[in-house]
Amino acid sequence: MNRELRYEQDRVNLVMGTISKEIGKLETETARRKGEVIQIRRHFWDEVKVNTDTFDDYLETIIGLRQEAQALSVSEGSHRHASQRLKVLQRMKESPYFGRIDFTESGESAPESFYIGISSLTDEDGEDFLVYDWRAPVSSVYYDCQPGPAEYSTPGGAVHGQLDGKWQYLIRDGVLQSMFDTSLTIGDEILQEVLGKQSDKQMHSIVATIQQDQNRIIRHDHGRLLIVHGAAGSGKTSAALQRIAYLLYKYRDQLNADQIILFSPNTMFSSYVSNVLPELGEENMQQVTFQDYLEHRLGDEFDVETSYGQLESVLSMGDADAKSLRVQSIRFKSAVRFIEVIKSYSESLESSGMRFRDVTFRGRPIITAEQMAERFYSLDPALRVHNRLDKLKEWLLGELKNLQKAEWKKPWVQDEIELLSEDAYHKAHRYLAGKRGYTKEAVADYEMEPEALARLVVHQKMKPHRRKIREYQFVDYKAMYGQLFEEPSQIGRWTNGETPVEWGAICRMTTDVLKAGRLFHEDATPYLFLKELILGFQSNSSIRHVVIDEAQDYSPFQFEFLKRLFPSAKMTVLGDFNQAIYSHADGRTDFSALSGLYGPDQTEVVNLTRSYRSTRPIIEFTKKLIPHGENIIPFDRDGVWPSLEQVGDFEDLHSRIILKIHELRRQGHQSIAVICQSAAESLNAYRSLSGIDGLKLIKSGTGEYEQGTVVIPSYLSKGIEFDAVIIYNASRDVYGDESVRRLFYTACTRAMHILHLYSVGKTSPFLEEALQEGALQV
């Protein structure tokens, strides 16, 4: 070992010693805190005297409860904090840092060395930093600068100086394996090693090898909207997660993980990425799918088609006319123009067209929809729709009260009283006694008046009606959305006379589906949007950052909706239009439709063109599947070229796939995916290949990504990666239509090390260029 390495190893030893001591202290601390939490939980009620006899007793009880809850929350918080720090230190024990910069600040005569790791560490006195957190201001120099003049920003202003050198360390279990002068490019050697590994069940953080353009995304900190358009495998998801960790660090006094929300394509993806933040000692942000949100908001009203359901339906349509109609419907209803239609339509409701539902009581309408419409339009037209609805609501509640007065003498009330259970009777007695001022002890003295009981019975009977009115269930949103499609020519009012091609047929199709109680996926957001415009938006102001991954799959309509839903949030949008798999994105190649969302001053676009996931030969091949693929730059990792086997029939196909999987397993590949176009094709493939041991079928409901050998539909493989990918049938029959090119590209770009394609019969035209240019072995 040369002198320099020995010096560095000694330093590693010193840092490791400090880490071990801190771990020791923290282990004692976490055990103590844990004991404290258990103790408080166990004796929670012992410490609180529950007494509600008098108001003062009641108040004392509440105060006692609150104090105990506070003590519990403080102890739990300290325990959580200590455990998180412990986890980080345990990771640092394997590798305390990964980088170093030698930086001479202007005015200083000698450089200072800054060692960079996943978290900060000071010496035992807490005075000197042994390791700087990768998110500390000075660490940006490591990711951003080349030797020479350099600067970094701090809350107190920019710090200028000279970067004298930049080093990378590979430390395993406290032993320095190697160090590289990485002054010019960060991490080629270490990146090679990281990327050459087998894929994992879960995504990992990339702190040690963040690249300069990715760092721009991570540290971006101005404007409301950051758009990242990047090639498959360029690190969009990774950068987004690192960005969240960065924001949590930078704004640790003002921001917590609950105020950040990540929109994922599906729950399997959510589980796949859920490890990155905890690995860095941060709590996970909230994760949701747009589909879950739709289901949550609309599931009670409709059978809502999922995005995958929509995709499957388009993929499986044999009738070309029906398919074209559906695709046109999807495109029109997802576009910016339709947002304007819905807005104008909702404005038009101010003067006419509001639809209501009869309020019925005991099976007969007591206030009809027509009466409500009449009342609504008799209100001051200067009032906004939702204000008029408020007034209508008050009127309805008043009407209900009047009705209550009229009802109590009716015979049905006596019938109900006779049918009251003993328990219900006693409850009513207690309740009325309380209202008459009888104390608990004197309840038995109260003699219930029959009239009071009758009124109470009617009041109770009307409870659900009052609730429905308070929830505005008297507004018939369904009818109002349906009304938009009742008379096809009316849309011209809101589109300057232009009517979309086939609009009449789209209207008929939509009306039929709505009548059947279903809602097409493309109608779900517009429907919700209309509902919110009518009633006022239900927004969530506590969310400060919204991160949308696989954003090419969201329609402009959905973005507009999300913007209104989270009015106080900044948005980070990550996507790749070459992987846009839904019909609404056809023809779109970038996020320009989003430029109007917050305006150009608030919007920044970053392009990532370097791709890391796959070996160079795989990227060279996949580049040839898409327009302008030549712009994608592969990270130079060697590997075998993708290969293609044409087979005569499915029997032959299955026996070859089985042999291939055995071969791949023998070579040590642990995650192998047989990627099919659709769910239907996946099911067939799975049944035919079920002899392979441990084979799993991934379906749209699969919640957790399990590693191994899987059969998976192309659209579900988004965002995930596999050591080896087998394209089940890259034939003209399956991938012949231009509309599935992006789906095909998405499937092929999932491969890290090996990509093998089969084709039953004629091959897909998407492969022609690759075949001609020798980027695919046959």
Ligand X SMILES: Nc1ncnc2c1ncn2[C@@H]1O[C@H](COP(=O)(O)OP(=O)(O)OP(=O)(O)O)[C@@H](O)[C@H]1O
Is residue 312 involved in binding ligand X (CB under 6 A)?
A: no
Whole-angstrom Cα Rg for the chain: 32
> Does 353 carry a binding-site annotation?
no
Question: Which residue lies nearer to ligand X by CB, 369 or 547?
Answer: 547
Interface mask (CB under 6 A) for ligand X, residues 661-700, using x and -? ----------------------------------------
| Nearest-approach distance from CB 210 to ligand X, in angstroms | 5
**Position among 18, 30, 140, 209 found at the interface with ligand X (CB under 6 A):** 209
Would you say 672 and 198 are in contact if contact means Cβ atoms under 8 Å apart?
no
| Nearest-approach distance from CB 611 to ligand X, in angstroms | 8
| Nearest-approach distance from CB 28 to ligand X, in angstroms | 36
Using CB under 6 A, which of the segments 20-28, 226-234, 417-425, 540-548 binds ligand X? 226-234
Using CB under 6 A, which of the segments 34-42, 96-104, 187-195, 441-449 binds ligand X? 187-195
d(CA 413, CA 433): 20
**CA dihedral angle for residue 16, residue 22, residue 24, residue 26, rounded to 10 degrees:** -140
Using CB under 6 A, which of the segments 16-24, 231-239, 479-487, 690-698 binds ligand X? 231-239
User: Residue type for 665, please?
Assistant: R
Residues 408-467 that bind ligand X (CB under 6 A): none
Question: Which residue lies nearer to ligand X by CB, 19 or 207?
Answer: 207
Question: Which residue lies nearer to ligand X by CB, 234 or 678?
Answer: 234
**Position among 65, 71, 194, 257 found at the interface with ligand X (CB under 6 A):** 194
> Does 232 carry a binding-site annotation?
yes
Dihedral sign for Cα 688, 689, 691, 696, please: negative
Query: For residue 460, which of 427, 436, 411, 433 has the smallest C-alpha distance?
Result: 427
**Position among 92, 171, 176, 191 found at the interface with ligand X (CB under 6 A):** 191
CA distances (Å), origin 23, targets 129, 529, 749: 17, 52, 42
Question: Which residue lies nearer to ligand X by CB, 65 or 194?
Answer: 194
Question: Which residue lies nearer to ligand X by CB, 232 or 389?
Answer: 232
| Nearest-approach distance from CB 240 to ligand X, in angstroms | 8
> Does 230 carry a binding-site annotation?
yes
Q: Which helix (H) or strand (E) holds 644?
A: strand 643-647
Helix then strand then coil, % of the chain, to nearest 5: 50, 15, 30
| Nearest-approach distance from CB 239 to ligand X, in angstroms | 7
Is residue 138 involved in binding ligand X (CB under 6 A)?
A: no
Question: Which residue lies nearer to ligand X by CB, 237 or 555?
Answer: 237
Is residue 211 involved in binding ligand X (CB under 6 A)?
A: yes
Angle, vertex CA 651, rays to CA 650 and CA 657, nearest 5: 85
Instruction: Give strand pairing partners of 304.
Output: 519
Is residue 210 involved in binding ligand X (CB under 6 A)?
A: yes
| Nearest-approach distance from CB 57 to ligand X, in angstroms | 59
**Position among 302, 566, 612, 705 found at the interface with ligand X (CB under 6 A):** 612
User: Nearest to ligand X by Cβ — which residue?
Assistant: 235
d(CA 92, CA 752): 28
Angle, vertex CA 93, rays to CA 89 and CA 94, nearest 5: 125
Q: Which two tokens stand for residue 397?
A: 């509640």
> Does 719 carry a binding-site annotation?
no
DSSP 8-state symbol, 256: -
- Which ranges constitute the DSSP H helices of 136-175? 140-144
**Position among 96, 161, 174, 235 found at the interface with ligand X (CB under 6 A):** 235
Number of Cβ within a 10 Å radius of residue 41 = 13
> Does 140 carry a binding-site annotation?
no
Using CB under 6 A, which of the segments 205-213, 259-267, 385-393, 450-458 binds ligand X? 205-213
Q: Which two tokens stand for residue 460?
A: 């109770």
Q: Which helix (H) or strand (E) holds 437?
A: none
d(CA 535, CA 387): 9
Using CB under 6 A, which of the segments 61-69, 129-137, 189-197, 693-701 binds ligand X? 189-197
**Position among 119, 238, 259, 671 found at the interface with ligand X (CB under 6 A):** 238
Residues 712-751 that bind ligand X (CB under 6 A): 719, 721, 749
> Does 233 carry a binding-site annotation?
yes
**Position among 96, 174, 230, 617 found at the interface with ligand X (CB under 6 A):** 230
Q: Angle, nearest 10°, between helix axes 741-748 and 616-623?
A: 180
Is residue 214 involved in binding ligand X (CB under 6 A)?
A: yes
Number of Cβ within a 10 Å radius of residue 478 = 18
d(CA 727, CA 674): 6
The two beta strands, 633-634 and 610-611, are: parallel
Residues 565-594 that bind ligand X (CB under 6 A): 576, 579
| Nearest-approach distance from CB 747 to ligand X, in angstroms | 11
> Does 234 carry a binding-site annotation?
yes
> Does 236 carry a binding-site annotation?
yes
**CA dihedral angle for residue 258, residue 261, residue 262, residue 266, rounded to 10 degrees:** 90
Q: Distance from first CA to last CA of the chain, Å, rounded?
A: 49
Q: Which two tokens stand for residue 141?
A: 């120099």
Coil vs helix vs strand at 503: helix
Annotated binding site for ATP: 230-237
For ligand X, the binding residues (CB under 6 A) are 191, 194-195, 206, 209-211, 214, 230, 232-238, 576, 579, 612-613, 719, 721, 749
